Chain A
Amino acid sequence: MTVRIERIELPGIGFRDDIVTAEGRHVGVITHRDGHRDVVLYERDDPDTAIESVALNSHEADALAGLLGQTALVGHIADLGAGTMGLFTERLLLPHDSRFLDQPLGATEARTKTGVSIVAICRGDGVIASPTPQETLRKEDVLIAVGTRRGLDSLEKILAKNSL
Chain B
Amino acid sequence: MHETTVILIEVGALLLLLALAGRFAARLGQSPIPFYMTVGLLFGTGGLLSLQASKPFLETGSEIGVVLLLLMLGLEYSPKELVGNLKKSARTGLWDALLNAIPGAVFGLLMGWGAIGAMVMAGVTWVSSSGVVAKLLTDMGRLGNRETPAVLSVLVMEDLAMAFYLPVLSAVVIGASLLQGAITVAIAVASVGLILFLAVRFGNRISRIFNPEHVETLVIGVLGLAMLIAGLAATVQVSSAVGAFLVGIALSGQVAHAAQKYLTPVRDIFAAIFFVFFGLTTDARQIPSALVPALLLAVVTMATKYLTGYLAARKVGVARPGRLRAGLVLIPRGEFSIIIAAMAVMAGADSFIASVAATYVLITVIVGPILVRLGDSSRVRNWLASKPAS
- A interface residue numbers (CB < 8 A to B): 8-13, 16, 28, 30, 33-34, 38, 40, 42, 46-50, 53
> What's the minimum C-beta distance from B152 to chain A, rounded to whole angstroms?
5
- B23 interface residue (CB < 8 Å to A): no
Q: A11-B149, A48-B319, A49-B146 are in contact. List 19 more A-B contacts (CB 8 A).
A: A9-B149, A10-B143, A10-B149, A10-B152, A11-B81, A11-B82, A12-B134, A13-B134, A13-B143, A28-B144, A33-B260, A34-B257, A34-B261, A40-B143, A48-B147, A48-B321, A49-B322, A50-B144, A50-B145
The residue in chain A whose Cβ has the minimal distance to the Cβ of B256 is: A33
Q: A34-B261, A48-B319, A48-B322 are in contact. Are A12 and B144 (CB under 8 A)?
A: no
| Cα distance, A10 to B148, chains bound together (Å) | 8
Q: A11-B77, A33-B257, A46-B321 are in contact. Are A38 and B144 (CB under 8 A)?
A: yes
Chain B residues whose C-beta falls within 8 Å of the C-beta of A48 in the assembled complex = 145-147, 318-319, 321-322
One of B81, B144, B260, B318 near A40 (C-beta < 8 A)? B144
- Which residue, B134, B142, B145, has most C-beta atoms of chain A within 10 A? B145
- B114 interface residue (CB < 8 Å to A): no
One of B76, B82, B153, B321 near A49 (C-beta < 8 A)? B321
Q: A33-B257, A49-B321 are in contact. Are A11 and B145 (CB under 8 A)?
A: no
One of B145, B146, B155, B322 near A12 (C-beta < 8 A)? B155
The residue in chain A whose Cβ has the minimal distance to the Cβ of B147 is: A48
> What's the minimum C-beta distance from A128 to chain B, rounded to whole angstroms?
49
| Cα distance, A25 to B152, chains bound together (Å) | 25
Contact of A12 with B143 in the complex, beta carbons under 8 Å: no
| Cα distance, A9 to B89, chains bound together (Å) | 13
In the complex, number of A-B residue pairs with CB atoms less than 8 Å apart: 66
> What's the minimum C-beta distance from A32 to chain B, rounded to whole angstroms?
8
- Which residue, A9, A30, A33, A49, has most C-beta atoms of chain B within 10 A? A49
- B130 interface residue (CB < 8 Å to A): yes
- B interface residue numbers (CB < 8 A to A): 76-77, 81-82, 84-85, 130, 134, 141-149, 152-153, 155-156, 257, 260-261, 318-319, 321-322
One of B77, B143, B261, B319 near A30 (C-beta < 8 A)? B143
Contact of B142 with A11 in the complex, beta carbons under 8 Å: no
Chain B residues whose C-beta falls within 8 Å of the C-beta of A49 in the assembled complex = 145-146, 321-322
| Cα distance, A161 to B137, chains bound together (Å) | 71
Contact of B321 with A12 in the complex, beta carbons under 8 Å: no
Chain B residues whose C-beta falls within 8 Å of the C-beta of A33 in the assembled complex = 257, 260
- Which residue, B82, B130, B146, B318, has most C-beta atoms of chain A within 10 A? B146
Contact of B321 with A50 in the complex, beta carbons under 8 Å: no
> What's the minimum C-beta distance from A33 to chain B, rounded to whole angstroms?
6
Chain A residues whose C-beta falls within 8 Å of the C-beta of B318 in the assembled complex = 48
The residue in chain A whose Cβ has the minimal distance to the Cβ of B81 is: A11
Chain B residues whose C-beta falls within 8 Å of the C-beta of A53 in the assembled complex = 141, 143-144
Chain A residues whose C-beta falls within 8 Å of the C-beta of B152 in the assembled complex = 10-13
| Cα distance, A50 to B322, chains bound together (Å) | 10
Contact of B81 with A9 in the complex, beta carbons under 8 Å: yes
Chain B residues whose C-beta falls within 8 Å of the C-beta of A47 in the assembled complex = 146
Q: Can you list 21 A-B contacts with CB-CB less than 8 angstroms, sorted by A residue number?
A: A9-B81, A9-B84, A10-B152, A11-B82, A11-B149, A12-B76, A12-B155, A28-B144, A34-B257, A38-B143, A38-B144, A46-B319, A47-B146, A48-B147, A48-B319, A49-B321, A49-B322, A50-B143, A50-B144, A53-B141, A53-B144
| Cα distance, A42 to B144, chains bound together (Å) | 9
Shortest beta-carbon contacts, A-B, top 3: A40-B144, A50-B144, A12-B76
> What's the minimum C-beta distance from A38 to chain B, rounded to whole angstroms?
6
> What's the minimum C-beta distance from B138 to chain A, rounded to whole angstroms?
8
Contact of B149 with A8 in the complex, beta carbons under 8 Å: yes
Chain B residues whose C-beta falls within 8 Å of the C-beta of A30 in the assembled complex = 143-144
Contact of B77 with A12 in the complex, beta carbons under 8 Å: yes
Q: A48-B318, A48-B322, A49-B321 are in contact. Are A11 and B156 (CB under 8 A)?
A: yes
> What's the minimum C-beta distance from B250 to chain A, rounded to whole angstroms?
16
> What's the minimum C-beta distance from B387 to chain A, rounded to whole angstroms?
14
The residue in chain A whose Cβ has the minimal distance to the Cβ of B145 is: A50
Chain A residues whose C-beta falls within 8 Å of the C-beta of B81 in the assembled complex = 9, 11-12
Contact of B130 with A12 in the complex, beta carbons under 8 Å: yes
| Cα distance, A42 to B153, chains bound together (Å) | 22
| Cα distance, A40 to B141, chains bound together (Å) | 9
Chain A residues whose C-beta falls within 8 Å of the C-beta of B257 in the assembled complex = 33-34
Chain B residues whose C-beta falls within 8 Å of the C-beta of A11 in the assembled complex = 76-77, 81-82, 85, 149, 152-153, 155-156
> What's the minimum C-beta distance from B372 to chain A, rounded to whole angstroms?
14
Chain A residues whose C-beta falls within 8 Å of the C-beta of B149 in the assembled complex = 8-11, 16
| Cα distance, A33 to B256, chains bound together (Å) | 10
Chain B residues whose C-beta falls within 8 Å of the C-beta of A12 in the assembled complex = 76-77, 81, 130, 134, 152, 155-156
> What's the minimum C-beta distance from A146 to chain B, rounded to whole angstroms?
44
Chain A residues whose C-beta falls within 8 Å of the C-beta of B321 in the assembled complex = 46, 48-49
